[in-house]
Structure 1
């Protein structure tokens, strides 16, 4: 649409050239007439322009009023129409600085809902835009939201620092790299803006002087004594110079444009010297303005109201700056049509704004509810760390919900933000009070963990795996039972403890891998030897055979331990021994002790010292049981032997004595086992 208007404007400029050509042709024809005719025409012109000259004198007298902004124009800039005034003011601002026009193309995001990281990313994108003033409002909004969130963040960190260090004289310092990046980007924008302002001020003043000079030339352009051809040529030159003069200060914009158009319209009225040429230009300007009105009628029905309103601003600028006046009979009527349509668009935009204000009111209600929920959490006393973590998660969720709720009415924005910060601050005070109370416990926990860490470090190089492994496992179990330590030490001490434990158990694992290979080899040897042992035959000589069996046992022991999952081969070996002992008619005690020696040998080769200890406890318990049995039997036999009529011991007494002897023999065996076990442990 704008391209179409620009094309039409070029045609309009061409029309004035056509007027000039037609006037030139008329004058040439006039030259060919008699002098009398020329003089007559000039007399007529003088009569017709006499009122015009008088009007021009009135204009000249009113120039002082022009300087006082009291010009009355046909299409007033300050029209009393709110819609037109709003567009005029906006165009005045954009005319001062053409880079402002680009701000319509850059959407204003809901910066309040963005995180600090996202705000900095958006700032980085906007700073890279060449038209620095087109992003000014966006960047200032980002600055406001970032600093609000940053100050809130620092305040929370300071409260945490004070809670963890109540007695410290150290000043609170917190460095956030993101803040440094924000400062650097904003300073970059500020420098670009200052350079832009400096250049703009110089340009604006120079352009203002140029335009005022053009207006002065327009004032003096109407001269009945001057050749109309030269006057038209001068007028076109002034128009071209005006279009290329550049922006001026916005506070001078309406005043200067009013002056310019006032004198342009006077010049057009002066063109009644050549009514046909003037009417052709009036007609062409009317066509252009009628096209603009037709386009505005389409914009009134446009769904995207903001987009339509921006185009309407551009059409107002074209109407005002690029199209000349129309005939007096149409000026008021066509302006009223344009103004009425502008008001319709403005009213639709106001309805949209009203809906937005309604949405902001809804957002305000949401944020008030969120603040109330945080205030309730700020009054709930919790006495456990896990529960406090739950409370913190709730507040964090409410904070995110607050930031995502959208904008609130501008007049309550600061009040709402302040209430939110106060609610979060109250919650943090309550939370920090709890953690301040448990800080002493955390310090005690730190001391306990440091002691366990020292033990773990001292044992991590130990190669006495059977003795060290249970200790290391016990240390780990104790570590689990100790509560939290201060946050600044937590990661460090845990890493050191974990590294020490891992170092030891990696060594243990490597040692076990080596042992496992030896155990598999021992199993293969024992399996092969078991087949040889099954073919062993006794010679009949008791001592020789007993020595041979003992030699087999020692050979068997020499093969070493077998894997845990293959210990069944020991049972097979014991069964072969049982058969040989039975053939040898070895006493039960000797047989039992030889088996026990073999068992103890296996236990002593185990990494688990608890097995030997358990065996010792079992034997001691058996000794107590046998002694109790002997005591009971001896107590019973006294009952029979102290009887007056007992002349001789009967069969029951003999059986009891026999049983006592058997238990005493068993007792000696158990005591000998205990002795052997103690010697091994020593």
Structure 2
């Protein structure tokens, strides 16, 4: 076909080359046209509805294949070429669709929710809207599937924790908000793009149809040939710059345009030399395309090669005119055969990919089977369930990372996976429902302790209340977990009540400690003066003085527990004074004992007083037994022949009996004194 061309065809070595054909249909070459235009063979030129096979002259060989195999092969090749033509028509409508080939389609099923949102943001903000259309829809599909699955899990957990609630389940995620934000931006951009595109497509279609109508009118024997040629070249230039049209109109409009161009070409009856020159150039261009396709058949990146093949088909169809009839079938058949080879190679790649997808399917089935096993393994401890949950999470991650499965099995695999995870969650939740009952019981027990602690927190009877508060705290420790939503609240209430009481106890002790420290200082100073005390030698006077010192010492009060050693020092000084005073053993011991018991009574040390009482009772029983044994021994000696004469052994035994009786009387006096202190 005689057109000016700037084809940017790929050379056989893969490099781009600009080809510019000098057409004979220009005014400067008009001399080659005969001055007299032959009669027009056809007065009226029809505009038939022409298919791709009709207008691409090489699409249909002159001679039909005679065998069924050949017919099937030709049909398959035509189907492949039709598919390429359809795709080119779509890209011709919107040039941005070409750019999507350069943006890799990731395995979005393997990405996390966070990564999907990040990927969506990157595509929507950095790429043209139609070049990422398929990518965004795949992201949307993966995101919603995973997010809906997450919602189901959260709802099951909510219902498990609140079986009797009337509250409506609600779950909000910042990730979903971010996803909605970026997807809305994509949708707005797409709508704006389509609105602009539709307006342009409509205008461009009207312009191209007008060009076709003008081509029809060029066949006019009354018009000057020079003017006709100039008009024809103008129409071709306008056609080249007319822009995109709707893909459903693409083939029909293009076929009509080329039909009328060829009619005009035939109408002119150009000389054979000029026509053959154009045929030769077109043949060279198509031979270069064939050579490039031969290289593409051996290209390692099959998808990239096939995309270039689509572009070459578009150039063959739109930019290069016809060749002479003798080469027409040959060059087209070669191009068609290479196209089929490329398609077959691509199908092999798809089969290999399908094999990988089937392997991924088996991996996912194994993962699902493991989750199903975990959904039947009964464990009875929270720590064990945490391990089970961790295993399922690892299997979930492995599932999403396993890669794509065959498209026709994707929904089924996903549904099976969701069912397995849902069954595990139901199994897990049934365990926690039982725990929930125990936690509610624990909540009731702890609530009762809180009430008790609040009731006692203002008490000033510290001696009675402190042991009770400590017992409450021990009980609290023994009670297990409560429902999580009540845990913090009830603990704060209990802690505040206990802290309030023990803070008051601490304040009271601080006040007491100041008094005790003051008593210690007084006793320390008094002890120094007592060391210098000298007896007068008058027994009664000295005894009264010692008793006065004891009363004065008691009057100072209690000392801090950590400084009670000063009481021992005071007792040592008293012992020395009693020895000098030459009191009877009983009087001396009773005064010392009385002083020591008074000290225990003042310190409110009931434990030591009780211990002293038990010690005295045991000691009295021991002495009683000793006396009984000694008296039995004497009786043995008095029944013998020498009973009238008591020997030294008998006399010694009688002395021991008297000694034990005296000691027992002292112990009984001490016991009476201790009992009187306990009663007071």
Any residues of structure 2 matched to 1:535-614 within 5 Å, and which? 536-540=532-536, 542-543=542-543, 546=546, 549-550=549-550, 553-554=553-554, 560-561=559-560, 564=562, 579=576, 582-583=579-580, 587-598=588-599, 601=602, 603-604=603-604, 612-614=605-607
Tell me the residue number matched to 2:28: 25
**1 CA distance for matches of 2:261 and 2:320?**
11
Higher helix proportion, which one? 1
Query: CA separation of 1:303/1:80 partners in 2, compared to 1, >3 Å: closer, same or farther?
Result: closer
Any residues of structure 2 matched to 1:63-212 within 5 Å, and which? 63-66=47-50, 71-76=54-59, 80=77, 84-128=81-125, 131-167=128-164, 170=166, 172-178=168-174, 179=176, 182-183=179-180, 185-212=182-209
Any residues of structure 2 matched to 1:382-397 within 5 Å, and which? 382-397=379-394
| DSSP 3-state at the match of 1:445 | helix
**1 CA distance for matches of 2:209 and 2:545?**
138
Query: CA separation of 1:181/1:625 partners in 2, compared to 1, >3 Å: closer, same or farther?
Result: same
| DSSP 3-state at the match of 2:171 | coil
User: Size of the alignment, in residue pairs?
Assistant: 641
Query: CA separation of 1:457/1:332 partners in 2, compared to 1, >3 Å: closer, same or farther?
Result: farther
**2 CA distance for matches of 1:82 and 1:505?**
91
Q: 1:89-118 deviations in whole A, cap 9, x for unaligned?
A: 322222223333333343333222333444
**Length-normalised TM-score, structure 1:** 0.78
Contact 1:97 1:247 survives alignment (8 Å): yes
**2 CA distance for matches of 1:483 and 1:202?**
72
Q: CA deviation at 1:590?
A: 1.7
Contact 1:293 1:338 survives alignment (8 Å): yes
| DSSP 3-state at the match of 2:86 | helix
Contact 2:279 2:324 survives alignment (8 Å): yes
Contact 1:546 1:584 survives alignment (8 Å): no
Report the aligned-residue RMSD: 4.5
Larger deviation, residues 654-663 vs 530-539: 530-539
| DSSP 3-state at the match of 1:109 | coil
Tell me the residue number matched to 1:398: 395
| DSSP 3-state at the match of 2:77 | coil
Q: 1:590-627 deviations in whole A, cap 9, x for unaligned?
A: 223324444555x54xxxxxxx3432442232133124
Q: CA deviation at 1:319?
A: 4.0
Tell me the residue number matched to 1:35: none
Contact 2:91 2:98 survives alignment (8 Å): yes
Contact 2:48 2:256 survives alignment (8 Å): no
| DSSP 3-state at the match of 1:150 | helix
Any residues of structure 2 matched to 1:355-504 within 5 Å, and which? 355-459=352-456, 470-501=467-498
Query: CA separation of 1:24/1:242 partners in 2, compared to 1, >3 Å: closer, same or farther?
Result: closer
Query: CA separation of 1:9/1:640 partners in 2, compared to 1, >3 Å: closer, same or farther?
Result: closer
Tell me the residue number matched to 2:3: none
Larger deviation, residues 497-506 vs 372-381: 497-506
Contact 1:112 1:403 survives alignment (8 Å): yes
Q: CA deviation at 1:413?
A: 1.3
Q: 1:151-204 deviations in whole A, cap 9, x for unaligned?
A: 333333443444445455x26422324445545554554454445444444443
**2 CA distance for matches of 1:230 and 1:123?**
57
Q: 1:122-164 deviations in whole A, cap 9, x for unaligned?
A: 4444444674333332333233333333333333344344444
Gaps of 5+ in 2: 1-5, 61-74
Query: CA separation of 1:301/1:525 partners in 2, compared to 1, >3 Å: closer, same or farther?
Result: farther
**1 CA distance for matches of 2:567 and 2:241?**
111
Q: CA deviation at 1:408?
A: 1.2
Gaps of 5+ in 1: 31-37, 605-611
Contact 1:268 1:278 survives alignment (8 Å): no
Q: 1:492-532 deviations in whole A, cap 9, x for unaligned?
A: 333444455566667778888x6899699779959985994
Contact 1:630 1:664 survives alignment (8 Å): no
| DSSP 3-state at the match of 1:406 | coil
Q: Among 343, 346, 370, which residue is 2:343 paired with?
A: 346
Q: 1:202-245 deviations in whole A, cap 9, x for unaligned?
A: 44344333323323333444556654443343333223322333
**1 CA distance for matches of 2:507 and 2:436?**
42
**1 CA distance for matches of 2:470 and 2:242?**
88
Query: CA separation of 1:348/1:651 partners in 2, compared to 1, >3 Å: closer, same or farther?
Result: same
**2 CA distance for matches of 1:326 and 1:520?**
124
Query: CA separation of 1:658/1:147 partners in 2, compared to 1, >3 Å: closer, same or farther?
Result: same
**1 CA distance for matches of 2:199 and 2:400?**
43
| DSSP 3-state at the match of 2:56 | coil
**2 CA distance for matches of 1:92 and 1:506?**
86
Q: CA deviation at 1:83?
A: 5.1
**2 CA distance for matches of 1:527 and 1:266?**
136
Contact 2:374 2:424 survives alignment (8 Å): yes
Q: Among 617, 626, 632, which residue is 2:625 paired with?
A: 632
Q: CA deviation at 1:655?
A: 0.7
Contact 2:56 2:317 survives alignment (8 Å): no
